Amino acid sequence: MVRLLRAAAPILGLALLGREVFAEASAEQDGGHEKEEENTTAPYEEPSTAGLHWAETFDGDVWSRWKHSLQEKYTGKFTLEKRAKEALLGDVGLLVPTEARHYGAAATFAPIQGKKEVPFVVQFEVRFQDGLQCGGSYIKLFDSSGAKADEFKDNTPYVIMFGPDRCGETDKVHFILRHKNPISGTWGEKHFKDAPRVPSDQTTHLYGLVIKPDNSFDILIDGEGKKTGNLLSSMEPAVNPPKVIDDPADSKPSDWVDEAKIDDPSASKPDDWDEDAPARLPDPAATMPAGWREDQQKKIPDPTAKQPDDWDPDEDGDWEAPVIENPACKVGCGKWEPPTIANPQYKGKWHAPRIDNPAYKGIWKPRQIDNPNYFVDEAPYLLPTISAVGIDIWTMQKGIIFDNIIVATDPQRAQQFGEDTWKVRHQLELKQIPPLPKDGGGDGLVGEAIEFVTRNIIPVGVTLLALAIGLAWFCLRDGSGVPPPPSEAERRRLRQEREEARKEQEGATAAPEQDGAAAAAAAEQEDEGGLGDLGKTD
């Protein structure tokens, strides 16, 4: 463990420098190196949105389109901001400026509905500028039904919820479809069972959902397919309910017997069954080995030791010879006990044999009835009306920035839009990541560590702080030349020295009684817990 931590120390040091490395690299780019500046940024140009049903690039009069929810719980207010570290200069997005708040905002657009043989696409980009340990960054598509955008609430019925969510054990790009049961009229949330994980770095990522006319769907991250599913088979619970269900009116009869086995009532404990017989017995065949000395102790005072000439019983107490192993005990000393063997008479507690229960009726199951709400929707890809997008999130990290949200019916066009916007930004962001150190910078592992740290400054920082504290504790406790435990003789010497020092101090300063008592108490404590403990550990 110590070795591992020590080996990690150089990386630890480099890692702690990571923030500065990143800051310096940024400063260089912002400062004199104009050539580099040209390579890592580009002026923002509003992308073409032709061919998309709806697109939001957060240009122009955004607040005429987007409204904060009027619901009280949304104390967080989105702002329009450039990225903290820009790639496309002047490009703004919708920012979460403060952590630990609820955010709610929505924008409406021309209604769109599922059409036969027509795919449906929703796509947007998000950057976790300060990382994302706990929070959502998903969007909801819903039917505003003519309501204003500021009426959007946390319980506004949505059609699709899509995007990253991470907290505790949750780490997924959600895809939830709300689907209406045409018989019962109720809506149910259908979750994609195999949702992909959320990328964990701090660059911008593009999230896309494409629902196709064969009911299959793709979840794309950064334009690449991450997971594929089918609305008819990959959702939990299933879009289409089961044909038969348990009869809710049926209940288990009170006299139902579902115990398959019982103790044989005709069996009884045999007379010769001794439940008290011990499991093991002393081996009757064993005999005391030759040379075993029952009359001798295992440890004895060293008969060759002598009281030192300078030993003063008044000062040092009664002299005692050190204790040694008794040389007479080569075979063994003290009372001899024979080894034990398994008792052939041992039977343990008697149990009646188990037999089939003649009254057993089987495991009770409720009667199956036709599901009154049964239906088959063979084309759930035909989505109901969608006319608004809402963001309803809570997050422990600020700095989340949304941009380039689109709704489309042409996956290729959506892909192209992603290339015109996200891809351009992504390539610049990659160049902004500090380069790996070349010669002299050490091995590739160190370089990778620096890159990892600069991409994940906050989580790594927290981890390293914990590591550093642990390392310091370990070094103080175990490393740094802590002496081996003192021998018996050393202990005596130390005790004597300490006692002398105490007396000297008492005499010289004529210390108050309380101090003397405290020193004696400290000495006593050290006797019991201090040196003794050192001797015990390791």
Binding site for Ca ion (CB under 5 A): 57-58, 91, 93, 403
Our CB check for Ca ion shows the closer of 57 and 156 to be 57
CA distances from 293 to 19, 61, 302, 332, 346 (A): 72, 101, 18, 6, 33
Considering the complex, state which of residue 43 and residue 317 has its C-beta at the smaller distance from Ca ion. Answer: 43
- Name residue, tokens 């050190």: 322
- Residues 6+ positions from 159 with CB-CB distance below 8 Å: 141, 142, 143, 177, 178, 383, 384, 386
Nearer to Ca ion by C-beta: 172 or 205?
A: 205
CA angle 215, 219, 223 (to 5 degrees): 125
SS (H, E, C) 363-430: CCCCCEEECCCCCCCCCCCCCCCEEEEEEEEEECCCCEEEEEEEEECCHHHHHHHHHHHHHHHHHHHH
Please identify, using beta-carbon distances, which residue of 231 and 428 lies nearer to Ca ion.
428
| Residue 447 beta carbon to Ca ion: minimum distance, rounded to whole angstroms | 33
Q: Which amino acid is at 378?
A: E
Q: In whole angstroms, how close is the CB of 469 to Ca ion at the nearest point?
A: 42
Q: What is the closest distance, in whole angstroms, from the C-beta atom of residue 93 to Ca ion in the complex?
A: 5
For residue 101, the minimal CB distance to Ca ion (Å) is 22
* DSSP string across 99-152: SSEEEEEEEEEEEE---TT--EEEEEEEEETT--SSEE--EEEE--TT--GGG-
Find the shortest distance in angstroms from Cβ 417 to Ca ion. Answer: 12
Query: Is residue 218 within a helix (H) or strand (E), and if so which, with residue range?
Result: strand 216-221
* 92 vs 460 by CB, closer to Ca ion: 92
Q: Least distance from C-beta 251 to Ca ion, angstroms?
A: 60
Q: Any alpha helices (H) in 230-274, and if so which ranges?
A: none
Closer CB to Ca ion, 132 or 405, in the complex? 405
- Nearer Cβ to Ca ion, position 57 or 397? 57
The CB-of-85 to Ca ion minimum distance in angstroms stands at 15
- How are beta strands 216-221 and 368-370 bridged, if at all? unpaired
Closest distance to Ca ion from the beta carbon of 80 (Å): 9
What is the amino acid identity at position 347? K
| Pair 133, 377: CB distance under 8 Å | no
Would you say 192 or 422 has its CB closer to Ca ion? 422
Query: Whose CA is closest to 408, among 22, 36, 120, 15?
Result: 120
Q: Is 39 helix (H, G, I), strand (E, B) or coil?
A: helix
